[in-house]
Amino acid sequence: MEHNRRNHLKVYRHQCDLCDQRFYLPSRLKDHMATHTGERNFRCEYCDKSYPRLQSLQEHIRSHSNERRYKCDICNSTFTQNGSLKNHMKSHHQGYELDPNYS
């Protein structure tokens, strides 16, 4: 029933007052509000950078731990984020296709 409400019926009862975007969970609305307020409550313990979302901070922390899960098959460069690999491919290897497993 929960799955049905969220994914099929799209029952999103929590609406942003600033942009009309709607969310299923109130916690998602709270996370979204940081895009309007500029809040950055998640701070890196290694370099003091701050982020509006926990997920963004967790991705950033990988750069400190050398956890580089995304690898360029052409030059073997490695990256902590999928988006960084995609940008690398565009700027260094134009014309080559990115492995579909990384999309």
Domain boundaries, the chain: 2-37, 70-102
- pLDDT > 90: percent of the chain: 21
pLDDT single digits (tens) 22-54 = 999 998 898 888 888 888 889 998 898 999 888
Task: Identify each DSSP E strand in 2-96 by its residue range.
Answer: 14-15, 22-23, 42-43, 50-51, 70-71, 78-79
pTM greater than 0.85 (yes/no): no
